[in-house]
């Protein structure tokens, strides 16, 4: 079930009604659990079994971790959780990828091996809920958290429908304590939550799908090579599309949770106003960045063991972060480029320690950051290295035989929308949406939300799935 569908509107209305009936808190949590399973089962009911397996294994592994006295026993229970979760993720997400690469390796050695056709269907959101459940047992193993006292609370944490399939990636310590006592949205929370849902759906349906996706698809999925203008504008269109699509999902999810009385962390903080790549990753997909930092970068040594170890940890984290996004070498290159950017930035900060850029230089560094981020988006969007290389050649003016792809109206639309997104990010760079809304008069805010809601209804089409569902 996708947020941008009439089915979800009916589903969410029913959930809200049930949640506000005069029922016991345990009954309400059970209702939310059943609703979350129905939400997930709307895609492919058999895959609910994977949720059950992950939930039960991690619940019992955590219990045994606490009661185990010998370090070897504790490590064994922790490894059981890691192997089961990463095993399911590896099979469903990377099984075909590994077989293809093994076959290519054998062919390079002169051995012709034809792997069996697996036809593996990727369960929606498996990367997201796998990371969420892994954090539970890892935090308990590292003695950073205690196990949940109620199986119902833990099962609801795993399956809570707002964050289940595309984040934000919640930690048990963030959500499980909220299930201890009855949660019910105040009138103000309900209003703000619904406003966030309208804003998120506007970003997804109107900006990402209706306006920006056609331009990105025309450039990236067309048959001809793109010239410099088309290549840059198509990539800028995708940069706006991927932000509006994913931030739109996160905003809708946070709003839906707020309507039920629950708080979820921000996942985006105006990333296209980032100055530098450490700043970018503090603003883009914040919950994934924090997860990779805490469970990968720091265990690999972080910045505690000298420069060489730090650069290794940075690059390894970003390469694996790229692979997390998709079973393709293009995603690995995308992550590797971000790792390279972070390493170079770290070297420059060390070399020019104490340098403070002025306002104009600060702005230019921000534009450079955005331009380099767009270079990485080429590998994220292109389906093959050939396609990525052709696009990069076009961006730097080397596709001499290119013919125009985008019409003047398309170019103007992309420039207006993406320019507006970047300008809004710079305007809000050091602010929060909540603080900005609090300072506005309710009449223009209501009018703006009404216009966005009208645009959502007018542009509503086939209910395209969010891009990050494939991850």
Active site residues: 325
3-state secondary structure of 317: helix
Of 172, 88, 96, give the one whose Cα is nearest residue 127. 88
What are the residue ranges of helices labelled H in 68-145?
A: 71-108, 126-141
Q: How far is CA 185 from CA 20, 168, 189, 254, 308, in A?
A: 9, 20, 5, 13, 50
The CA distance from 330 to 326, in Å, is: 9
Of 151, 170, 148, give the one whose Cα is nearest residue 160. 170
Contact 161, 244 (CB under 8 A): no
**Is it true that the peptide bond before 168 is cis, omega within 30 degrees of 0?**
yes
Tell me how far apart the terminal alpha carbons of the chain are, to the nearest angstrom. Answer: 16
The CA distance from 166 to 471, in Å, is: 8
Q: Please list, in sequence order, all residues whose beta carbon lies within 8 angstroms of the beta carbon of residue 69, skipping any fewer than 6 positions away.
A: none
3-state secondary structure of 169: coil
């Amino acid at each position: 079930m996708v947020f941008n569908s009439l089915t979800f509107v009916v589903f969410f209305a029913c959930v809200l009604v049930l949640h506000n009936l005069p029922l016991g808190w345990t009954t309400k949590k059970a209702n939310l659990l059943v609703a979350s399973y129905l939400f997930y089962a709307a895609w492919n009911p058999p895959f609910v079994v994977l949720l059950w397996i992950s939930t039960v294994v991690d619940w019992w592994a955590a219990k045994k971790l606490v009661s185990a006295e010998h370090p070897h026993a504790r490590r064994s229970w922790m490894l059981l959780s890691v192997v089961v979760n990463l095993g399911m993720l590896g099979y469903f997400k990377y099984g075909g990828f590994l077989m293809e690469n093994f076959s290519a390796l054998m062919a390079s050695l002169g051995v012709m091996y034809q792997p069996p056709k697996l036809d593996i269907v990727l369960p929606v959101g498996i990367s997201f809920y796998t990371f969420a459940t892994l954090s539970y047992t890892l935090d308990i193993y590292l003695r950073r958290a205690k196990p949940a006292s109620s199986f119902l609370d833990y099962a609801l944490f795993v399956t809570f429908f707002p964050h289940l399939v595309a984040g934000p990636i919640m930690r048990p310590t963030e959500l499980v304590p909220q299930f201890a006592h009855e949660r019910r949205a105040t009138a103000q929370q309900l209003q703000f939550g619904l406003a966030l849902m309208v804003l998120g759906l506007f970003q997804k349906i109107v900006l990402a799908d209706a306006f920006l996706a056609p331009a990105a698809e025309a450039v990236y999925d067309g048959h001809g090579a793109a010239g410099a203008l088309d290549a840059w504008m198509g990539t800028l269109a995708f940069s706006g599309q991927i932000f509006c699509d994913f931030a739109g999902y996160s905003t809708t999810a946070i709003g839906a949770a707020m309507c039920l009385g629950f708080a979820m962390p921000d996942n985006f903080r105006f990333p296209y106003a980032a100055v530098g790549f450490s700043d970018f990753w503090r603003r883009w997909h914040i919950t994934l960045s924090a997860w990779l930092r805490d469970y990968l970068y720091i265990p690999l040594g972080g910045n505690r063991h000298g420069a060489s170890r730090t650069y290794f940890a940075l690059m390894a984290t970003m390469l694996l972060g790229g692979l997390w996004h998709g079973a393709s070498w293009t995603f690995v290159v995308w992550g590797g480029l971000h790792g390279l950017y972070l390493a170079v930035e770290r070297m420059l900060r060390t070399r020019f320690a104490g340098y403070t850029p002025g306002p104009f230089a600060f702005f230019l560094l921000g534009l450079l950051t955005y331009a380099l981020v767009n270079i990485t988006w080429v590998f994220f969007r292109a389906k093959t290295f050939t396609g990525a290389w052709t696009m990069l050649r076009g961006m730097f003016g080397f596709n001499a035989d290119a013919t125009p792809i985008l019409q003047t109206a398309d170019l103007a639309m992309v420039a207006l929308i993406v320019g507006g997104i970047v300008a809004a990010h710079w305007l809000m760079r050091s602010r929060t949406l909540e603080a900005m809304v609090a300072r506005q008069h309710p009449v223009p805010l209501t009018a703006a939300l009404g216009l966005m809601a009208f645009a959502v209804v007018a542009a509503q089409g086939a209910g395209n799935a969010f891009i990050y569902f494939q991850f």
